[in-house]
Amino acid sequence: MSAVLEVSGLVKHFPIAGQRAVVQAVNGVSFSVARGETVSLVGESGSGKTTVGRCVLGLITPSGGTVHFHGAPIDKRHNIRSKTLRGRLQLVFQEPAESLDPRMRIGHTIAEPLRSLGVSQAERQQRVRETITRVGLRESTLEQYPAELSAGQQQRVGIARAIITEPELIVLDEPTSALDPTARAEIIDLLIRLQQELETAYLFISHDLSTVRYVSHRVAVMYLGMIVELGSAAEIFSHPRHPYSVGLLSSVLLPNPRLKRELTVDLKGEIPSPIDLPKGCFLAGRCPFADERCRAAMPPPDDVGGGHLVHCYHHREALRGREALDYFDQFQSEAEQVLGAGRR
Amino acid sequence: MRILRYVGKRLIFIVPQLFGIILVSFLLVKMIPGDPAVLMLGPFATEEQLAKLRAEMGIEGTVLDQFWIYLKNLVQGDLGTSWQTTQPVLLDLFQRFPATLELITISLFLALAIGIPLGVAAAYFKRSMVKKFSDYYGLLAGALPDFWLGLVLIFFFYTLLGWAPAPLGRLDIAIIPPTPHTNFLIIDSLIEGNWQALWSALGRLILPVVTLGLINAGPILKMTQSTMERMLESDFIRYADTCGLPRSVVIRRALRNSLPSIVTIVSVLYGFLIGGAVLVEIVFSWGGAGQYAVQGVLNADINPVLGFVLFSAIFSLVIYLIVDLIYFAIDPRIRS
Amino acid sequence: MHPEIAAATRDPAVLSARSDAILAIRGLSVSYPVYGTEAVRAIRELDLSIARGEILGLVGESGSGKTTLARAIMGLLARPGRIDAGSVTFDGRDLRAMPEDALRAIRGKDIAMVIPNPRGELDPLVTVGRQIATVARAHLDIARDKSDELALEMLKAVQIPDPKRRFNAYPHELSGGMAQRVVMAMSLVCSPKFIISDDATSGLDVTVQAQILDLLRNLVRSHQTAMMFITRDIGITAHFCDRVAVIYAGEIVELAPTVRFFENPMHPYSVMLLAAFAHNPRLREKWHKPLASQIRAGTTGCPYAPRCVHVEDQCRGTRPALLELEPGHFVRCLVPVVRPT
């Protein structure tokens, strides 16, 4: 199976006005996304996940490394805005309200990508009507303005605008972060259903781990512009090996008081500044396992099988002493028990 | 340290900025029709006489030639001569610029004293008489021409009531003026202890200052009010309320955060008024810089106009530098 | 009608101030007048009391009225909101009857509030140490050097690294997590008896959120401070709160001790919320009905009826009362969810 998206050795440094130093936003990121697959980039603010997304679409030019879309490079001339790739790559934003033109009717907004592809008026109308029902909105919505819709409905419109060209890859930048839980769950279901129907590849950028657990096939955990751990969602969530992944996952509070997080890895202190990164492993200053080796140089990736990569010398220690338990899975089954049993 | 570097950078840029301003205004002034040589020598002058005078005045050859001559003289501190006053322009401006500065500086202080408290009160008490009053005030100040207000004031306080001195210049002609050290009458008479002159000068200032102050309080009031309103709605002021800080602290914080906008509008007004006060200067026979420049324009007397532009430009650049320094002092986000 | 409901009695703990209550809200109604049409009701006849030292989680989606409730308690409703009825009793004193200046003396001293977007909550032109000290000096009648000392102590207490240096830092020089700690220091500096946290951790990264929550809980517990923890994230309440209250359209629809709430959620809305977090489409389909339009508070009948999968004819006509269906577990529903025991 050939990859839809192939990112290798991606580096992006942003210059700071009037200074020689740079913001090292992305520091050597490699991953691929296959047809019909969802790969999630998870990480906290400053992890560089959004910058990766923008490089993938060619919205900004990387400082190093390559991005290939179906084997062809994405660069200054071939990107989401160029004629060759227009409509084949799409983007869904975090803030639905801000990404829609408040003075444009929904129908017009959704049809816009088709207009730039030169699709005829009749076919546009046909496709717009198909798409709006596909994302679970009524046809009458086409005549409305963004302000008349709820946040969840607005995000459906954002998704409709992205899928109308039947793209091969959609970059979803925190598509559910601004939504209430119920709207969030609906949008996630919609995205999964659309992927099954259209076999679109998703690059899903999020800090919301419980959503990521549910939508992704594979997960890349990012910290300070590095993918510190990459593997299948089931593996990462049940056997996180990188101390940062462990700390991140144990910080998630699931709505079940009995699923108490255990603090095997307590991440102390603050994230270092991306302007002044430490020499060795970026986590060394916060990690309980760190030793001289970690502080000397960034650990190379270690393949622990099944395409599960970890950038850590001590991942076995981080794994040891913890029962292999996917809290998210357990939460699901307990939720099923409690909520499935209820009746009037 | 940072601030010194910043000021140094700004000062370096002042030279090219001034050059640009002089170039543009030179070209513009040259577009004003009228030959000063003809105006000076009258209709019966011969071609030879005219050519000779033009050469003396540096107004022969192409515009660029003339510009080059002007620049060379300028570097030596020679701004040319005004044929109307027959004095060097530099000397004229040293007399007249202080007259205008004295007037507009004091006027702006009055405008601030009216605008800021009113603006703050109108922003804080949203449904009060103060708010209504300041709304009308802003409207009126924006609509009334300043010279008209000056004439009305003269009519009431000089003609009818006789409380104010005659609108005839900066000093009573019967009083011996102080030796011009700075040409700011107040400062000069203070230096000499010439209380009579000081008293007269202050008296003469009242009406024009009130005129300009009342009118220019309008924009300051509006800016203060709108910025304060925005600040009072801001998260950190709401949080200050949530923390139960006393009203005075809350208002002080909001005002401090509004200061950059107020300083900006004041600096804009300041720069504008150097020439913008000209109608009021005429009404009060003030003999200020604006009046001087307008006379120059009307009589094809180029050197005073260029000199005025140059002086105003330097003044504005200094003002903007001071404004930047004030921003520096107020806002730590700019400092770092 | 269900036998449980028939047997249930209205509990005085909810309806009137309990003797150990630090805060008691009775019959509170808040509305926002809209020009030319009927006022929007944001809070409707709400009863709630919080005991000394208790952490109550208040869960609701956007527009449910949770922030309005917080601001109504503080007496700081955003214009043009107004309290139509009800009382707010704090430590035995009726807050609604107090003049503005007396309220100012209570705010920040006895009742403190922590808000999200911490950097926006701090004055950008004043150092953080000075801001904390100003709150202390406004309420505690102490000299300037004493208040500075206290502010520094608070910075230490919220575990800000290098507190001496941070004292003179400006808000823009702090990270989001650090600024949140400063806001916490400001709210705790007068040792308040009651803290309202309004979605205070929502903007933070999860690892930072975990640190902040640990810290907040330790500080609150060690001072015997009561707290109302408002959040959209029901997951936090499971691990952080003693009791959970769910607010929908300006009404408390369910209130229970935390463990009981998650073991046996009884209001269909609570169940639906939990199902949304479980990311389980089968469960959501069972409990969730997509909704066409926004529901406004104050409709006749149950406000949740249009979205409810359990809805019966009686729900549309009768407004359910908040009833105690098991000890300490209150539900506002005519047809609550039951589970086999």
Average pLDDT over residues C45-69: 92
Same domain, A246 and A211: no
Question: Is A47 found in the same domain as A110?
Answer: yes
Residue A309 lies in a domain: no
* Chain A CB contacts of C264 below 8 Å: 338
Same domain, A160 and A22: yes
List chain B residues with CB under 8 Å of C138: 243-246, 249
pLDDT in tens, B233-242: 999 999 999 9
The set of chains that have 3 or more CB pairs under 8 A with C is: A, B
Residue C177: strand, helix, or coil: helix
Q: Please answer yes or no on whether B244 and C135 come within 8 Å at the CB atom.
A: yes
Is C299 a residue whose pLDDT tops 80?
Answer: no
Nearest residue of chain B to residue C186 (CA atoms): B243
Cα–Cα distance, B223 to B265 (Å, whole number): 7
Cross-chain Cβ contact B249/C108 below 8 Å: no
Q: Quick one: A126 and A92 in the same domain?
A: yes
Find the CATH number of the domain harbouring A186: 3.40.50.300
C23 and C71 part of one domain: yes
The pLDDT score that the predictor gives to residue A247 is: 87
Domain ends where: A162, A189, A221? A221
Query: CB-based contact (8 Å) between C92 and chain A?
Result: no
Whether B235 sits inside 8 A of C115 (CB atoms) is yes
Q: Which residues of C touch B247 (CB under 8 A)?
A: 104
Residues 148-187 of A with CB under 8 A from C: 150-151, 180-182, 184-186
pLDDT at B193: 86
Assess whether A176 and A253 both reside in one domain: no
Asked if A292 and A248 sit in the same domain, the reply is yes
pLDDT band at C2 (very low <50, low <70, confident <90, very high): very low
C161 chain-A contacts, CB cut-off 8 A: 269-270
Are the C-beta atoms of B284 and B216 separated by less than 8 Å? no
Give the class (CATH, top level) of B89-335: mainly alpha
* pLDDT band, very low/low/confident/very high, at C13 (cuts 50, 70, 90): very low
Q: A271 and A188, same structural domain?
A: no
**pLDDT > 70: what percent of chain B?**
99
The answer to whether residues C51 and C119 belong to one domain is no
Chains touching chain B through at least 3 C-beta pairs below 8 angstroms are C
In sequence order, what DSSP letters do the residues of C278-315 get, joined into one string?
HT-HHHHHHH----SSPPPBT-SS-TTGGG-TT--HHH
> Does a structural domain hold residue C106?
no
Low-confidence ranges of chain A (pLDDT < 70): 1, 261-264, 320-325, 342-344
Interface of C with A in 175-234 (CB under 8 A): 175-178, 205-210, 213, 232-234
Q: Which residue in this structure is represented by tokens 């802003």?
A: B138
pLDDT of residue B131: 92
Q: Say if residue A201 is in the same domain as residue A255.
A: no
Contact check, Cβ <8 Å, B235/C187: no
Same domain, C133 and C279: no
Quick one: A57 and A205 in the same domain? yes
Tell me: pLDDT of C15 over 50: no
Are A and B close enough to touch, i.e. 3+ CB pairs under 8 angstroms? no
Q: How many CB pairs under 8 A join B and C?
A: 75
Contacts of A260 in chain C (CB under 8 A): 239
> Is the Cβ pair B333, C170 closer than 8 Å?
yes
Q: How far is A145 from chain C (nearest CA, A)?
A: 15
CB–CB contact C239 A260 (8 Å) = yes
- Measured distance CA(C333)–CA(C267) in Å, rounded: 6
Closest CA to A24 of A33, A34, A15, A35: A15
On whether both A53 and A196 belong to a single domain, the answer is yes
Percent of chain B residues past pLDDT 90, beyond the cut: 44
Which of 133-172 (C) contact A at CB < 8 A?
A: 161
Owning domain of residue C137: 111-191
Does A236 reside within a domain? no
Burial class (CB in 10 A: 0-12, 13-18, 19+), B67: middle
For residue A323, what are the domain limits? 242-304+315-341
Q: Is residue A310 part of a domain?
A: no
Domain count, chain A: 2
Identify the weakest region by mean pLDDT among B119-123, B246-250, B322-326, C210-214: C210-214
**Token pair in block for residue A104:** 């444009």
Could you give the CA distance from residue A242 to residue A265 in angstroms, rounded to a whole number?
10
Chain C residues with CB under 8 Å of A213 CB are 279
The most confident of B179-188, B198-207, C31-40, by mean pLDDT: B198-207
pLDDT in tens, C75-103: 999 888 899 999 999 999 999 999 999 99
> Is C336 among the domain residues?
no
Please report which confidence band the pLDDT of residue B333 belongs to, taking 50, 70 and 90 as the band edges. Answer: confident
* pLDDT tens profile B18-69: 889 889 988 888 877 777 777 777 777 788 888 887 777 777 777 888 888 8
Place of tokens 């006060």: B277
Report d(CA C127, CA B321) in Å as an integer.
26
- Give the phi and the psi of residue C216 in degrees, each rounded to 5: -60, -45
